[in-house]
Amino acid sequence: MKALLILIPALGLLSACANSSDSNRRLQTQVDSLKKKLDSTYRPGLGEFMMGIQEHHAKLWFAGLDKNWELADFEVHEIGETIGDIKQYCTDRPEVKSIGIIDPAISSISSAIKQKDEEAFKKGFAALTDGCNNCHRDNNHGFNVITIPTGLPVTNQQFKPAK
Ligand code: HEC
């Protein structure tokens, strides 16, 4: 009887252990399947982020030429945000290490915009474009040459300041 009194709680403990290792296994299976899902979740690649930057680069130019400083400021921030996304999401791309190459140009454009200084803006924009190309050249993408835009990137947006 005494033995039984000891055995019953011991069995209870054992089955609790078994239960918890069962639930551990179940949790692990869930974690594994979530990991798999996460790995196969769509994330834009570096080239797609770059196409976004290309669009903002072009819009930035026309906003600056038309002295729409608010839009220019917006576009330069969009470039900065996309660079942040690249740093966060393209960690598998060693080229991203050189992305800081365009930081000085971005900050000189930003201060030109603040001062509404068209000449400084144009200079900063040329430096930014050189930065794009320097990074492309440094990373075996020298065939991809960015230029100062010669035509509007879109025809459904006004670059002059809103009235
Ligand atoms: C890390 C340095 C780096 C900087 C700075 C950089 N790029 Fe890139 N860019 C790359 C790399 C690497 C690729 C190739 C991406 C790929 O493999 O898909 C690329 C690709 C591109 C593409 C090709 C996308 C396509 O399919 O046509 C464009 C456009 C582009 N960049 C524009 C720019 C512009 C505009 C700037 C400057 C505002 C810039 N890039 C700055 C590294 C850089």
Residue nearest to atom 6 of ligand 1 (CA): 132
Ligand 1 binding pocket includes 59 (Cβ within 6 Å)? no
15 pLDDT above the threshold of 80: no
Looking at domain 46-138, which of 2.40.50.180, 1.20.120.10, 1.20.1740.10, 3.10.20.30 is its CATH number? 1.20.120.10
Q: Is 55 helix (H, G, I), strand (E, B) or coil?
A: helix
Instruction: Determine the average pLDDT of the residues in 147-153.
Output: 97
User: If you write DSSP's letter for every residue of 103-141 in order, what string do you get?
Assistant: HHHHHHHHHHHHTT-HHHHHHHHHHHHHHHHHHHHHTT-
By alpha-carbon position, which residue is closest to atom 14 of ligand 1? 47
Whether the predicted pLDDT of 126 surpasses 80: yes
Q: Is ligand 1 within 6 A of the CB of residue 57?
A: yes
Residue owning the nearest CA to atom 13 of ligand 1:
47
The conformation of residue 149, written as its DSSP 8-state character, comes to -
The closest alpha carbon to 97, from 148, 126, 135, 71, belongs to 135
User: Which ranges of the chain does DSSP label H, i.e. alpha helix?
Assistant: 2-39, 46-65, 69-89, 103-114, 118-138
Mutation choice for ligand 1 from 92, 144, 148, CB with most ligand atoms inside 8 A: 144
pTM for this prediction = 0.86
Nearest CA to ligand 1 atom 26: 47
Pocket lining: 135 vs ligand 1, CB cutoff 6 Å: yes
Segment 98-119 shows an average pLDDT of 97
Determine the pLDDT at residue 20: 82
User: What pLDDT shows up at residue 5?
Assistant: 63
Would you mind telling me the total number of residues written for the chain in this entry? 163
User: Confidence band (pLDDT; 50, 70, 90) for 142?
Assistant: very high
- Please report, for the chain, the start and end positions of each structural domain, with discontinuous segments joined by +: 1-36, 46-138
CB-facing half-sphere around the CA of 153: CA atoms within 13 A: 17
What is the whole-number distance in angstroms between the Cα of residue 24 and the centre of ligand 1?
A: 45
